[in-house]
């Protein structure tokens, strides 16, 4: 195990506490386990008796931790001990010269060098602990049935053929019919009108052919794109307008299919401008369906103006089972002006702590007049409910509604730093299911009032 940076229950190696007489869906006590001859190279966290609380009080028993090699180049101690670990025996392990090491027996604690093999593995030069010198990693194509394709599950943008598209009515639709997975639709400068929803069941990129920012797309249906099972979308260098959309509520530039999906999708927006999503109320940029899940949503160097709904409506998993609509949401270097709804309504409910997301980042962006629409139920510019990792930094909020963060479970990491708030209320962070003190880091934020 090398270069693992996870923490809490997602640490590089975690031995949990269990629940006494645990029901089948909780944590059974760790008993009669063997952890030996492993190499943990630059692993940030090794946690023992993790999750210890009044419910998870059953400590590990009859567990062996033998002949493991633990090396961190900065010599930090990766171990965190949360409860009694007398039920774990330690023998023949080595660790790379950690000061004040907290496990007194079973480790040789001294500096040693490592070597890197051509196959990518790291070995100690002078110790036998850890993996054996003749160990070789297994390649993906060596496993499973020979007749079953081992293709990557990750959508790959821009690796297929390029289809040049001319301006006009439904020329994008026609080109999409000819496209295969990972193809690029290269749009020449000019105006494009789309009269029917563009259904995506493959990874497709739409990008401007030139850098002149003269590609303008309008659409005449309740959505421009519908991401279906197997689909993913990347948009680059485009201007999209909702001015020709039908005069009805609930439109969206992008939506997911109306039923649940088996495959996760990716959505990437870069160097785009989206305007005039205001033909009627509740016009979102992205509106998702329950049972759909994005591995990542990335928005960079883009502008959004005049939207009567939300930018990202990621709030459809309301059953409070710990399920949510996206894993990583990243917004950088972008500008948002006159959005009546939230910048993001991001919801992960329940108290199940076994999932580690979602993750949200907003940085180096400007947010102006966002969140004050009368139909915005949250009355916020940004609502993060149950998000596990949050980083909001170096942004400017002007004349916008409050940022609301709801901590619901686990040990969420929330950092809101170095932001400017003008005519915008102070951040609100609430602990909903815990009596713990607020753990959010709120620092170097400034608040000013320009209005009387």
Neighbouring residues of 229: CB distance < 8 A, sequence distance ≥ 6: 201, 257, 261, 262, 263
Average pLDDT, the chain: 93
276-292 per-position pLDDT tens digit: 999 999 999 999 999 99
Token reading at 423: 């005519």
Residue-wise pLDDT tens digits, 227-276: 999 999 999 999 999 999 999 999 999 999 999 999 999 999 999 999 99
pLDDT, one tens digit per residue, over 212-226 is 779 999 999 999 999
Q: Which among 43, 69, 79, 44 is positioned nearest to 131, based on CA atoms?
A: 69
Q: What is the mean pLDDT of residues 144-165?
A: 85
26, 63, 69, 32: which is closest to 48 by C-alpha? Answer: 63
pLDDT confidence tier of residue 153, bands split at 50, 70 and 90: low
Would you list the DSSP string of 51-107?
T-SSS--B--BSEEEES-EEE-TT----EEE-S--TTEEEESEEES--TT-S--SSE
Mapping DSSP to helix (H, G, I), strand (E, B) and coil, where does residue 262 land?
Answer: coil
Categorize the per-residue pLDDT at 411 as very low, low, confident or very high, splitting at 50, 70 and 90: confident
Other beta carbons within 10 angstroms of residue 137's beta carbon come to: 10
Q: In whole angstroms, what is the distance from residue 293 CA to residue 97 CA?
A: 44
Which strands sit side by side in the sheet containing 69-71, from one edge to the other? 39-41, 69-71, 93-95, 107-109
Pairwise CA distance, residues 304 & 366, whole Å: 11
Question: pLDDT tens-digit profile of 161-171?
Answer: 999 999 999 99
Closest by CA position to 405, among listed 435, 383, 421, 376: 383
- Report d(CA 281, CA 137) in Å as an integer: 55
pLDDT higher than 80, residue 353? no
Q: How far apart are CA 141 and CA 134, in angstroms?
A: 20
What is the band of 295 on the pLDDT scale with cuts at 50, 70, 90? very high
Residue pair 179/202 in contact by the 8 Å Cβ criterion:
yes
Report the alpha-carbon distance of residue 449 to residue 422 in Å, rounded.
6
Residue 449, Cβ neighbours under 10 Å: how many?
Answer: 9
Give the number of other Cβ atoms within 10 Å of residue 167's Cβ.
Answer: 17
User: Tens digits of per-residue pLDDT, 30-67?
Assistant: 999 999 999 999 999 999 999 898 989 999 999 999 99
Closest residue by Cα to residue 387 from 430, 448, 419, 450: 430
β-bridge partners, 193: 169, 218
| Paired tokens of 275 | 């305007």
What is the distance between the alpha carbons of residues 159 and 147, in angstroms, rounded to a whole number? 24
Checking if the pLDDT of 6 tops 90, the result is no
Tell the CATH topology of 162-448. Pectate Lyase C-like (2.160.20)
Q: Would you kindly state where each structural domain of the chain is located, as residue ranges?
A: 1-138, 162-448
């Amino acid at each position: 195990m090398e270069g693992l940076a996870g923490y809490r229950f997602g640490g590089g190696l975690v031995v949990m506490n269990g629940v006494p007489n645990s029901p089948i869906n909780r944590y059974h006590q760790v008993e009669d386990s063997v952890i030996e001859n492993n190499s943990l190279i630059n692993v940030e966290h090794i946690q023992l008796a993790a999750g210890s609380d009044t419910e998870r009080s059953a400590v590990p028993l009859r567990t062996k931790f033998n002949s493991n090699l633990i090396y961190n180049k900065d010599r930090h101690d990766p171990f965190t001990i949360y409860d009694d670990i007398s039920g774990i025996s330690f023998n023949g392990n080595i660790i790379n010269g950690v000061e004040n090491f907290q496990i007194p027996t079973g480790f040789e604690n001294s500096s040693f060098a490592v070597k890197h093999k051509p196959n990518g593995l790291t070995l100690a030069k002078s110790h036998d602990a850890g993996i054996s010198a003749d160990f070789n990693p297994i390649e993906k194509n060596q496993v499973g049935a020979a007749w079953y394709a081992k293709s990557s599950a990750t959508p790959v943008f821009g690796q297929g053929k390029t289809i040049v598209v001319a301006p006009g009515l439904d020329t994008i639709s026609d080109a999409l019919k000819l496209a295969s997975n990972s193809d690029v639709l290269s749009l020449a400068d000019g105006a494009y009108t789309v009269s029917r929803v563009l259904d995506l069941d493959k990874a497709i990129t739409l990008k401007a052919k030139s850098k002149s920012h003269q590609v303008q797309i309008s659409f005449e249906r309740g959505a421009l794109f519908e991401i279906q099972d197997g689909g993913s979308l990347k948009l680059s260098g485009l201007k999209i307008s909702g001015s020709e959309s039908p005069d009805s509520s609930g439109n969206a530039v992008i939506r997911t299919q109306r039923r649940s999906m088996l495959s996760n999708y990716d959505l990437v927006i870069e160097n785009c401008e989206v305007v005039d999503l205001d033909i009627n109320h509740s016009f979102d940029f992205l509106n998702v369906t329950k049972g759909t899940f994005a591995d990542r949503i990335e928005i960079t160097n883009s502008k959004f103006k005049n939207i009567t709904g939300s930018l990202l409506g990621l709030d459809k998993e309301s059953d409070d089972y710990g399920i949510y609509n996206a894993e990583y949401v990243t917004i950088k270097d972008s500008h948002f002006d006159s959005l009546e709804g939230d910048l993001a309504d991001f919801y992960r409910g329940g108290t199940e702590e076994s999932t580690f997301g979602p993750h949200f980042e907003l940085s180096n962006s400007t947010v102006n007049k966002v969140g004050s629409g009368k139909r915005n139920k949250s009355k916020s510019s940004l609502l993060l409910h149950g998000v596990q990792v949050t980083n909001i930094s170096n942004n400017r909020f002007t004349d916008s509604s409050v940022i609301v963060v709801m901590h619901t479970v686990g040990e969420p990491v929330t950092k809101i730093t170095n932001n400017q708030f003008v005519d915008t209320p102070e951040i609100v962070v609430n602990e909903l299911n815990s009596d713990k003190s607020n753990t959010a880091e709120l620092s170097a934020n400034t608040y000013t009032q320009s209005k009387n």
